[in-house]
Amino acid sequence: MKIEVVLTEAEIVQELTEAVEARDLPEKFFYWGPLPVRAWLARAADPAFAGLRCAWQQLAAKAAWLLEPFGPPIHAISFGAGDGSTDRLLLDAIRQSGRELKYYPVDASQALLEMACAGAEDLDIETDGIKADISSPMHLVFASDAAESPKLLLMSGNTLGGFDPLDHIKHLAQCLHGDDRLILDAEIYQIDGSVPHPDTLRQFAFAPLAALGVSADDGEVRFEYKRDQSIAGLHVTAAHFRPDRDLRIATPDREVLVQRGEHINLNFSYRFTTEALHTLLVERGGLRILDQIPSPDGRHLLLVCSR
Ligand SMILES: C[S@@+](CC[C@H](N)C(=O)[O-])C[C@H]1O[C@@H](n2cnc3c(N)ncnc32)[C@H](O)[C@@H]1O
């Protein structure tokens, strides 16, 4: 297994301590370490996400159309690849079509990245993992330069929704050249405001603090639903934790005292109306939408974009 390390574990540990001190945990910590990884895999396996996988399978059935501009080998770079299981729905179809393929999963989570590499290698797909921070424009460019254009850039599992989508789409668009294709999915806002399986969402949101020894009895995880006014149709769910007692949180570097009643910002997740996604990609990202596939349950939209 080959993994190039741009973001080291020492850097992640230092950032974790700073994040607890700032009472604000960045997205990468919800997938870092055994307990958060388990909570994420449990959430990702939830039947509520079957519709999303169905949309990727429908795209896989159109692989011949998707790959028209590409000569061999096909290079696929996946930002926030996770365990790679969503990507493999498409990659396996490409492999089965007899096209030569090289896969570059990019993630901050060593454990998930290893799963992505191992899963692709099991399918005999040549794989180079990249451990990098996709919230850093420099790391994004570095990872996207792993292969020459034309290439496929993938972003699956509503990964876009874990970042400020306006900033992130601009940085992603800068990685796209000529005949490159960006394939991403996003979660569609539901009129009734519902989110798939709130129970696994709560465990997932609390997992980084649980990994630091905070107990569910030490306070309460709350969710706040807001509109983001920067584009009509942008909605965000933000989780935070409020301790009921003073806590000494033992980060790997040092202990951080968090007092009763303070707020620790946990993760947030954007949901989009279809119109908001179009505005984001076309007007803010300067991209063209070549195809879109709604999931059968209407909870996700998969889009194929070019420059
Ligand atoms: C919502 S999950 C999606 C995973 C996968 N694409 C899927 O469809 O199952 C987001 C992924 O992005 C990764 N991630 C989050 N923040 C990151 C960061 N700043 N840099 C690199 N990877 C990050 C997480 O480790 C996780 O694997």
Domain boundaries, the chain: 3-190+273-306, 218-271
Band (85; pLDDT cuts 50, 70, 90): very high
Ligand 1 centroid to residue 288 C-alpha, Å: 24
Ligand 1 centroid to residue 307 C-alpha, Å: 24
- Closest ligand 1 atom to Cα of 81: 6
How far apart CA 56 and CA 60 sit, in angstroms, is 6
CA separation, residue 203 to residues 37, 92, 209 (Å): 11, 31, 10
Can you tell me which residue has the tokens 């599992």? 157
Q: What is the mean pLDDT of residues 84-91?
A: 98
How far apart CA 131 and CA 154 sit, in angstroms, is 16
Supply the DSSP string of 100-120, one letter for each residue. Answer: -EEEEEEES-HHHHHHHHHHH
Helices and strands counted in the chain (H then E):
10, 14
How far apart CA 173 and CA 185 sit, in angstroms, is 15
Q: What is the pLDDT of residue 253?
A: 87
The pLDDT mean for the chain works out to 96
How far apart CA 137 and CA 120 sit, in angstroms, is 26
Band (201; pLDDT cuts 50, 70, 90): confident
Q: Is the pLDDT of residue 198 over 80?
A: no
Q: What is the mean pLDDT of residues 128-141?
A: 98
Band (196; pLDDT cuts 50, 70, 90): low
Ligand 1 centroid to residue 107 C-alpha, Å: 6
Please tell me the residue having the least CA distance from ligand 1 atom 26. Answer: 82
Q: What is the mean pLDDT of residues 294-302?
A: 97
Task: Check: CB of residue 187 under 8 Å from CB of residue 269.
Answer: yes
Ligand 1 centroid to residue 28 C-alpha, Å: 7
Q: Model confidence over 230-277: pLDDT tens digits?
A: 999 999 999 999 999 999 999 988 999 999 999 999 999 999 999 999
Task: Check: CB of residue 171 under 8 Å from CB of residue 137.
Answer: yes
Task: Record the tokens describing residue 156, joined without a space.
Answer: 């699956």
Can you tell me which residue has the tokens 């968090």? 258
Ligand 1 centroid to residue 260 C-alpha, Å: 31
Q: What is the mean pLDDT of residues 98-111?
A: 97
Architecture of domain 3-190+273-306: 3-Layer(aba) Sandwich (3.40)
**Residue spans of alpha helices (H) in 194-260:** 198-211
How far apart CA 211 and CA 205 sit, in angstroms, is 11
Ramachandran sector of residue 286 (left: φ over 0; alpha: ψ -120 to 50; beta: rest): left
Band (194; pLDDT cuts 50, 70, 90): confident
> DSSP character for 185?
E
How far apart CA 32 and CA 27 sit, in angstroms, is 10
Please tell me the residue having the least CA distance from ligand 1 atom 17. Answer: 28
- Closest ligand 1 atom to Cα of 157: 8
Q: Ligand 1: list residues with CB < 6 Å.
A: 27-28, 31, 44, 80-82, 86, 107-109, 112, 133-135, 156-159, 162
Q: What is the pLDDT of residue 133?
A: 98
Q: What percent of the chain has pLDDT over 70?
A: 99
Q: What is the pLDDT of residue 192?
A: 81
